[in-house]
């Protein structure tokens, strides 16, 4: 690879790191071209899976301030995630279960380096949409509780006042 091509490749990888929410580093030795195509399709539009050269990727990662040196050994491909990192992590994890030749080495999420185990834990999370809907449901429930509480106070006051009025009427009528 000529020097100009390397400079262009480093600039391209650097740009991918900058534009991504997350990046997952994998080893792909033993996967066929058809399997890699299938993996790319399974990741969808939110992630781009690229086979990269380790030295060029190290340079690009260092330019962005990411330390991935320990993960950049052997055959390496990176999934650059622009959408929901949880969905991409699930896609990689599920594909790795079916194809044991895909090994998740580690990655980075919003500038923080992650181990392979942390990527798998990320895959176990529910998607952003599910978590937001659960939050909205919990907030709606709390609002309903508050409304019931505010409605109960005047009702209780009216019942107490009626009971007091009835008691005073009884006492007044008994004398």
The CA-atom distances, in angstroms, between 79 and each of 13, 94, 119, 174, 175 are: 11, 14, 12, 87, 89
Q: Judge whether 60 and 49 are in contact, CB under 8 Å.
A: no
Say what the pLDDT of residue 1 is. Answer: 67
pLDDT in tens, 77-106: 999 998 888 888 888 888 888 888 889 998
Count the helix, strand and coil residues of the chain and give each as a percent rounded to the nearest 5. Answer: 65, 15, 20
Statement: residue 174 has pLDDT above 60: no
pLDDT in tens, 31-63: 889 998 988 888 878 888 888 898 898 989 888
Q: Judge whether 93 and 82 are in contact, CB under 8 Å.
A: no
Phi and psi dihedrals of 47, rounded to 5? -145, 150
Q: What's the pTM value of the predicted model, to 2 decimals?
A: 0.68
pLDDT in tens, 121-157: 887 777 667 777 877 877 777 777 777 777 777 778 8
């Amino acid at each position: 690879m000529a020097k100009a091509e390397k400079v262009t490749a480093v600039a391209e990888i650097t740009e991918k790191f900058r534009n991504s929410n997350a990046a997952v580093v994998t080893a792909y030795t033993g996967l066929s071209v058809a399997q890699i195509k299938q993996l790319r399709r399974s990741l969808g539009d939110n992630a781009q899976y690229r086979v990269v050269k380790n030295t060029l990727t190290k340079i690009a990662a260092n330019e962005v301030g990411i330390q991935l040196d320990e993960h950049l050994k052997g055959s390496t491909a990176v999934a650059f995630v622009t959408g929901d990192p949880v969905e991409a992590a699930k896609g990689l994890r599920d594909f790795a279960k079916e194809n044991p030749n895909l090994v998740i080495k580690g990655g980075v999420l919003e500038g923080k380096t992650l181990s392979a185990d942390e990527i798998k834990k990320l895959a176990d999370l529910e998607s952003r949409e599910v978590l937001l809907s659960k939050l909205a449901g919990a907030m709606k429930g709390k609002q309903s509780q508050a409304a019931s509480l505010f409605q109960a106070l005047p009702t209780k006051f009216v019942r107490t006042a009626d009971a007091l009025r009835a008691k005073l009427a009884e006492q007044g009528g008994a004398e």
